[in-house]
Structure 1
């Protein structure tokens, strides 16, 4: 009964605000306010407010919501653990096979150590990587650019 009274008061206040807005020649806004203010009365008349108030004040409903929350929490926890490092049997078997060297295509996952312009053999993974080359002398920086410009006649 209290919820129905509150909804009716809210609707009456909203219709009053809509009337004032229409008096100020803002008919589109007044129509929108009137539409929003009729929603609470419509909910009361359809019985939705009574149904919601019954849900709010029943302890068994809150226990049901608590169980749903617990199920959701457990589900999300297991997903988080799985993403962090929880491994499945298949993953552990693949890790053991990789550590023994039984991989299907070991070279497929190894990055290429040569550039596309050279035809040298790829270096084995066990050798340490070379240090990066030192910067070219200042006069040699633009030699490639000069060659391109000469090629195009510029």
Structure 2
């Protein structure tokens, strides 16, 4: 079915108005900032936006403007913006988790080395005590005095 020039101009005006609304972020519930939503908002058949159809140039303009907004860091579709934000947060959390796991591995390795050193030191102390107990030439020191016996009673 052919449309008149007036109908085509009216459709183009509706498409441009819908395009402006979508790119401002006024996206209807259940919609996206895409050609399908543009067509439904403008009450135009979606197939008219593809190939050599009448509104293919408007689709290209819409996609170009949407890409320019995304390149500028603005995402008109709140849902898409939320997805981008959540992906970035997810990546930050993955990085933090990886750093935490690496730190835990380092601390576990340090703990194992410390325990091994303590065990070796303990074995050396036990060996030296046994060697000292077997000889009579080692003199034992008197027990350490507490601070109250050294200073004396308070007056």
Q: TM-score, normalising length from structure 2?
A: 0.29
Q: Which has the larger radius of gyration?
A: 2
Q: TM-score, normalising length from structure 1?
A: 0.29
